[in-house]
Structure 1
Amino acid sequence: MEEKAMVSTAELGPLISELKSIMQKKGYSPASIMDLEKVWMSLTKYASTVPITQFDEYFRGDFLRTEYGLRMDLEYTMYRANRALALLTNYINYGVVTGFPKGKHLAEFSEGYQELLTAFMDSEARRGLAESSLKSLRSRLFRLNVFLTDKGAKTFSLVQRDTLNDFVKYLAPYSTTYVSENLRMLRRLCTFAFQFGYHSEDLSACVPFVKNSRQQKIPAIFTEAEVERILASFDRDNPLGKRNYAIFLLAARLGLRSSDIKALEFGFINWKEKVISFSQQKTKKFLSLPMPDDVGWAIIDYLKNGRPVSDSKYVFIQHNPPYGQYADLRSLLVKQMRKAGIETPANKRIGMHCFRHSLATTMLEKGVPLPVISQTLGHADISSTEVYLRINISQLRLCALEVEL
């Protein structure tokens, strides 16, 4: 399909119908399409109430603000709305249906790309990439496969510079980290394809470099008062409340990642020394932290008075048979924030990581040296900790210069 020019809001109806038809052929479920269609119906209705204009980022922004606002309790709705707009925008701009139906990212690559992409992944595995990194690589390659195929390049040998330029432009709305990782992957793939005869030209030179500067993104944080309000919102008279309170204390007081909290085993806790020691899930770096009294007593209260009888090695488990490892921390956080009366814009990413960021910021404000904070959070590199300097307003004020009048 040819790439479309910028369209007006009066043309949205037929384009949405085209998009739905293609999604059906690609295997999107009726339920998924219906979910997105609710957004598209709201979009066309909104377009009919305002003067005809171009379907650009300004129009889309006005639609989101008017239709959905920025309330936290609409977070899933905002996610769905942004996804629906992204699908429509990419179809209009590039003539492709980006993304893939649920579960399809685990499917095989298309026939024309199977040999190349499998060989490329094998070569990346031999470089020593971790299993989690290979999984992410596969997901990015699958998305690239879908994009290139939809653009008419049924094999990589048919890919042209303009096709890659379109893919680069398609990536533009994503985070700097995501763009940087995709372009790095694309450069390596182009070189690999040329070296092993999958393309007559090394196209890596036409893939731009994007510096992945982690410090461009300021972490989301809670204030100390908000942290205490969240902790106070738990009903500690019931088993679930006891479990959840202990989990959130570990995040708030020690800054543990959610992956490490979920993987916490009984053997990681030294009750005599009041220390928690474990190998971090993300970095594999060993971390040993003193256990504050309130954290220790909260865990004890849960184990004695809340945890179901189970032989699971994990401290925190689900409270329904078969009592597996507890996992759903993010939805619990959103629920407790509502209960504590804490609101945040729906387009702001909120998760258990906010407690890590909040702890680091509080420590900075209290004058704790950066290396100590880095050690506490278990960062593999102190540069990961330095990003918190950007949100330490009180210290930034000390750097202010007087202006002579």
Structure 2
Amino acid sequence: MNWLTEHHYTARSVLHRVPVLFSFGDYAKAHGANELMQLSDHVEPFVQDWIRRHGRGRSASRRSRFAHEVRNPICQMLHLAIDGYDGPGRPHKPDNPFERQAPQFLMYLVEEKGLRPRTILQYRFHLHQFAAYLERTGIGLRAVSPTVISGFITEYGPRVAWTTLRNACGTLRVFLRYLYREGVLSKDLSSLVEFPQSYRHAGIPRSISWDQVEKVLASVDRRSPCGKRDYAMLLLLSTYGLRACEVAALTLDDIDWRNERFRIRERKAGNTTTYPLSAVVGAAIIDYLENGRPVTTDREVFMRMAAPLAPIGHAAVVSRAAHFIRKASINVPRAGSHVLRHSCVQRLLNAHFSLKHIGDYVGHRNISSTQIYGKLAIEQLRYVAQGDGEDVL
């Protein structure tokens, strides 16, 4: 009860959860559970028994949702009461699927290569894909050969975007080089991993016009606490071209109200950027802090609106941006927060800012990341197309 109250669960939610927990306790005790560790064995039988007694006449989809509503408070309680309890969902994958052959690989990525936690997550994902391929083909890690590497890339490539395949190849190169260094492999096979062919500036940024950005902002209902939060986040994305993770990581300590500026710490390029706080963005943040943000001791600016109370994650920022882009009836490939980031860059480009200044503004590590936006400089390209050929040369 105290935990539910502290994490801002509503009285209605508490009244639903507590009777379920009492019923589960009685059921588990009646079926022989005498210790906490034995409770997890009775979760699914209790859920099925509850559905049989209370779920008659419901459709299959409604019964599935009903089962989740019963299972969720039980698993939440067991997670708090039992250390290491993961719940009845998908089996927990080990951080390193090659723990037995290369137990220190993830530590190597952190201590020697200095990679960030989010990058480590990408390495883990691609390692699991490679481990799954080896398991399907019945090949051990020590038996990895150029043919095996080629087979993995050939099978994995058609299922993912070329950028994902490129990252997987990079992960594989680092991993194979590490295995050779540690003596797991007798030869260094890293050079045999070929990156997928790509053409510089082949893609087009997912930007929308500024009129469309304003349409997205206008689609937010700013009367609700959730709307106040989302409006402030969308303004940060579109005005400063911030990444979703940078918006989610913004803290109250990062905003200097006296000097009307704020800072973004630990950017992808490894630097910290200080921005002037515009009046519109500042007013939106103040409106959210005063009239929408839940009371909490957390220092992050943007919080979840549904219990349990916690800072919002970067995936939620992406999701909310995508929601309002679709709500505004704007068609764009892969709607999300990066669409607004690209739109910010395009607006600066249309205002004739140099690529160097634009790259510094949005936190690009390399000027080549900014050069692709040159294809969106419509007026400049029209001038080149209509101008004297000799002048162009």
Flag whether TM exceeds 0.5 (same fold).
yes
Q: Quick one: which of 380, 383, 388 aligns to 1:398?
A: 383
SS in 2 for 1:288: strand
Counterpart contact for 1:180–1:212, Cα < 8 Å: no
3-state SS of the aligned residue for 2:273? strand
Counterpart-to-counterpart distance in 2, 1:281 and 1:192: 28
Q: Is 1:186 the counterpart of 2:172 in the alignment?
A: yes
- Aligned-residue RMSD, C-alpha: 2.8
State how far apart, in whole Å, the 1-side matches of 2:115 and 2:290 are.
42
Counterparts of 2:191 and 2:355 in 1: how far apart (Å)?
A: 39
Q: Is the 8 A contact 2:237 2:244 kept in 1?
A: yes
Tell me how far apart the structure 2 counterparts of residues 375 and 205 of structure 1 sit (CA, whole Å): 34
Residue 328 of structure 2 aligns with an amino acid whose one-letter code is A
* Residues 96 and 127, structure 2, Cα contact 8 Å, conserved in 1: no
Matched to 1:219, the amino acid is: P
State the Cα distance separating 1:234 from its structure 2 match.
1.4
- The answer to whether the aligner puts 1:301 opposite 2:301 as a matched pair is no
Deviation at 1:393, TM superposition (A): 2.6
2:194 to 183, 208, 212: 208
- The separation in 2 between residues aligned to 1:264 and 1:195, in whole angstroms, is 40
| Structure 1 residues 211 and 121, CA gap change in structure 2 (3 angstroms) | farther
Deviations 1:217-257 (A, max 9, x none): 32211211110011111122222222211111111112122
Deviations 1:251-296 (CA, angstroms, capped at 9, x unpaired): 1112122112112212211222211123145334111111111111
Q: 1:220 to 1:237 in 2, by over 3 A?
A: same
- TM-score under structure 1 length normalisation: 0.65
**Cα distance, 1:299 vs structure 2:** 1.4
| 1:177 shift after superposition | 3.0
Structure 2 CA distance for partners of 1:206 and 1:295, relative to 1, 3 Å = closer
Structure 1: gaps of 5 or more residues: 1-100
Aligned to 1:289, the other structure's residue is in SS state: strand
**In the superposition, relative to structure 1, how do residues 108 and 233 fare at CA in structure 2: closer, same or farther (>3 Å)?**
same
CA–CA distance in structure 2, aligned partners of residues 150 and 360 of structure 1? 45
Query: Which residue matches 1:358?
Result: 343
Amino acid at match of 2:372: V
Q: CA deviation at 1:325?
A: 0.8
Task: Specify the SS of the correspondent of 1:277.
Answer: strand
Identity across the alignment (%): 30
- Distance in 2 (CA, whole Å) between partners of 1:322 and 1:402 is 64
Q: Look up the match of 2:367.
A: 382
Return the index of the structure with the highest Cα Rg: 2
- Runs of at least 5 residues in structure 2 that lack an aligned partner in the other structure: 1-88
Residue 30 of structure 1 corresponds to none
**Counterpart among 210, 217, 229 of residue 243 in structure 1:** 229
Residue aligned with 2:320, SS: helix
Compared CA separation, residues 122 and 292, structure 1 to 2 (3 A): closer
1:141 aligns with 2:127: yes
Q: State the Cα distance separating 1:206 from its structure 2 match.
A: 3.5
- Which of 318-327 and 238-247 deviates more? 318-327
Flag the 1:157–1:382 CA change in 2: closer, same or farther, 3 A: same
* Equivalent residue runs for 1:2-401 within 5 Å: 105-106=93-94, 109=97, 113-125=98-110, 126-153=112-139, 155-173=140-158, 174-210=160-196, 215-327=201-313, 328-344=316-332, 348-400=333-385
* Range moving further from structure 2, 380-389 or 170-179: 170-179
Q: Is the 8 A contact 1:230 1:340 kept in 2?
A: yes
Taking structure 1 as reference, are residues 160 and 278 closer, same or farther at Cα in structure 2, changes over 3 Å only?
closer
One-letter amino acid of the structure 1 residue matched with residue 243 of structure 2: R
Give SS of 1:222's match: coil
- The number of residue pairs the alignment matches comes to 297
Instruction: Give the equivalent residue in structure 1 for 2:81.
Output: none
SS, match of residue 311 in structure 2: coil
Which residue type is aligned with residue 397 of structure 1?
A: R
Superposition deviation, residue 131 in structure 1: 3.0
Query: Partner amino acid for 2:255?
Result: I
SS in 2 for 1:318: coil
